[in-house]
Amino acid sequence: MRIFDPHIHMTSRTTDDYQAMYDAGVRALVEPSFWLGQPRTSPASFFDYFDALLGWEPFRAAQYGIAHHCTLALNPKEANDPRCVPVLDALPRYLVKDSVVAVGEIGYDSMTPAEDTALAAQLQLAADHGLPALVHTPHRDKLAGLHRTIDVIRESRLPPERVLLDHLNETTVKDARDSGCWAGFSIYPDTKMDEDRMVAILRTHGTEKMLVNSAADWGRSDPLKTRKVGDAMLAAGFDDDDVDKVLWRNPVEFYGQSGRLQLGTATPQPLHEGNSILRGGE
């Protein structure tokens, strides 16, 4: 089983997770920039984080044979902080980097006017740079948030087939699919979706333009949830081709719209800016 995790926050994970993911079949991933839990206080902290997603994390992933790509953006939560909004002006110089395959995560957290502005501006940036967009649908008031998101997308220059609506569930999947956008589902141990619910959605709605991710981060999460969905699909009667479509070909097709995917065997380098992953080693 080959797996492309289209949304996972590896900066929050350990090298043991990279090894376990490789052993489970993960060969490629996309790491979206997101809120780190501790509020940032200036744009400079974003820039250091973006640099890590462009340098250190691809270096770490390559040590375990995994191709690492990222998406960059001002996330919805911090779009409400005036100290962080200048990040929008600096994004263009990051969006031209080779391993950036989308603008994201963008979208809504609390559905404020500031979030409206940031979403519209970053959809425009995606269109300007020929990139797709990874859109975070809110954890609260999900259906209302989805409808508001779709309205902003329709007003933008970015066509729906270049948009991935993520964190969907049973209440939002139909409207998301009717919009023409791609549909993403985050599989978690306690919240969001689980494997059995995901299988039920795939039975009802099919596998076309459907992506499954672990969204594993600093909270209670599991970087092997993609593999567990694949196993659950097989146990439920889906065949190997169905699993390959959901776990590999769909994310490749969506992010391939960037023209920047590099899916060959990741070549490990001994050092990144003079550092290795071997603490205390030569």
Write the pLDDT tens digit of every residue in 9-56. 999 999 999 999 999 999 999 999 999 888 899 999 999 999 999 999
Residues 215-240: what's their mean pLDDT?
A: 94
Confidence bin at 281 (pLDDT 50/70/90): low
What is the pLDDT averaged over residues 50-69? Answer: 96
> How many Cβ atoms sit within 10 Å of the Cβ of residue 61?
24
Percentage with pLDDT > 90 across the chain:
85
Q: Please report the pLDDT score of residue 279 as a whole number.
A: 64
**For residue 184, how many other CB atoms are within 10 A of its CB?**
26
- Supply the pLDDT for residue 269: 79
User: How confident is the model at residue 259, as a pLDDT?
Assistant: 96
Distance (Å, whole) CA 34 – CA 237: 35
Phi, psi (degrees; rounded to nearest 5) at 55: -125, -65
Q: What's the Rg (C-alpha) of the chain?
A: 18
Residue 214 near residue 7 (C-beta atoms within 8 A): yes
Strands 67-72 and 100-107: parallel
Cα–Cα distance measured from residue 136 to residue 185, given in angstroms and rounded to the nearest whole number: 11
Task: Give backbone dihedrals phi and psi of 166, rounded to 5 degrees, phi first.
Answer: -105, 170
Angstrom CA distances, 169 to 112, 186, 249, stand at 22, 9, 21
Q: Which of 85-94, 105-114, 257-266, 269-278 has the lowest mean pLDDT?
A: 269-278
pLDDT of 20: 97
- What was the pLDDT predicted at 278? 74
For residue 219, is pLDDT > 90? Answer: no
What confidence tens digit (pLDDT) does each residue in 126-183 have? Answer: 999 999 999 999 888 889 999 999 999 999 999 999 999 999 999 999 999 999 999 9
pLDDT band at 266 (very low <50, low <70, confident <90, very high): confident
pLDDT of 205 over the 80 cut: yes
Give the separation between CA 27 and CA 80, rounded to whole angstroms.
Answer: 36
